[in-house]
A and B are shown apart, each in its own frame.
Chain A
Amino acid sequence: AQRVTQPEKLLSVFKGAPVELKCNYSYSGSPELFWYVQYSRQRLQLLLRHISRESIKGFTADLNKGETSFHLKKPFAQEEDSAMYYCAPPENPISSGSARQLTFGSGTQLTVLP
């Protein structure tokens, strides 16, 4: 079955330090991966998707097919980056027909310390 793994439940870095949130996937084919962010007391929102190759709030994510990874990176973390981050894969390829089950990673809580 397809899996997305976020190995770190908690991650703390100091302000100004680089940050990398890991996401690994097990999926054959051409994945379309997303990163969602949830700030304290707010709803989840899209941070970026690999297909658009954007940089949002200084974050980037490169799809590495060789390592099956889609790590989220930022060179200089800010306190306002403290949030829960979720990696999200494409639909479950095992699902039949047009049915599309979506399975998020378990999330990484990032804390940026002053």
Chain B
Amino acid sequence: EAQVTQNPRYLITVTGKKLTVTCSQNMNHEYMSWYRQDPGLGLRQIYYSMNVEVTDKGDVPEGYKVSRKEKRNFPLILESPSPNQTSLYFCASSRPAGARDTQYFGPGTRLTVL
């Protein structure tokens, strides 16, 4: 089944403790991205990647890092999480056309930073 998976689905952590949220897709998509969803602010793009080893900042990249060593994986790294990063995070992927094509979303990761 074609899909985008994220792990973990729920995470509660404390300020400053490094964490990684994984994202994997099995559709051979080139384009992958991370979003955070906050009430009243909608969906905001954090980082995106056009292909392996090609990443770029979205609207709200501060406090986040990403890597794209393999086509299928696009982990989101929070080196020193802070409470303002408490949010619902979505990973998405699409075909080589990138943003012009349909985005396939993961199920979301609800992160709470205490």
Q: Does A57 contact B (CB under 8 A)?
A: no
- Using known A-B contacts A43-B90, A43-B108, A44-B90, determine if residue A100 contacts B43 with beta carbons closer than 8 Å: no
Q: Which of A49, A91, A106, A107 contacts B102 (CB 8 A)?
A: A49
- Using known A-B contacts A100-B50, A100-B98, determine if residue A86 contacts B105 with beta carbons closer than 8 Å: no
Interface contact A102-B42, CB-CB below 8 Å = no
Q: Does A9 contact B (CB under 8 A)?
A: yes
**A residues contacting the other copy or chain, number (CB 8 A):** 26
CA distance A32 to B48 in the complex (A): 19
Give the interface residue-count category, chain B: 20 to 34
CA distance A74 to B8 in the complex (A): 36
Residues of A within 8 A of B105 (CB): 36, 43-45
Interface contact B102-A34, CB-CB below 8 Å = yes
Residues of B within 8 A of A113 (CB): none
> Which of chain B's residues has its CB closest to A104's CB?
B43
Interface contact B50-A107, CB-CB below 8 Å = no
A39-68 interface mask toward B, CB cutoff 8 Å, 1 = contact, 0 = none? Answer: 000111110010000000000000000000
Interface contact A86-B42, CB-CB below 8 Å = yes
CA distance A34 to B34 in the complex (A): 18
Pick the most buried of B33, B41, B98, B106: most chain A CB atoms within 10 A of its CB: B98
Distance from B54 Cβ to chain A, minimum over Cβ atoms (Å): 8
Residues of B within 8 A of A90 (CB): 99-100
CA distance A40 to B42 in the complex (A): 15
Residues of B within 8 A of A42 (CB): 107
> Which of chain A's residues has its CB closest to B51's CB?
A98
Q: List chain A positions with a Cβ less than 8 A from chain B.
A: 6, 9, 32, 34, 36, 42-46, 49, 86, 88, 90-91, 95, 98-107
* Besides A101-B58, A102-B33, 12 other A-B contacts (C-beta < 8 A): A34-B102, A42-B107, A45-B105, A88-B103, A98-B54, A100-B99, A101-B99, A102-B45, A102-B48, A103-B44, A104-B42, A106-B43
- When A and B form their complex, which 5 residue pairs have the shortest distance between CB atoms, in order from nearest? A106-B42, A91-B99, A107-B42, A104-B43, A102-B99
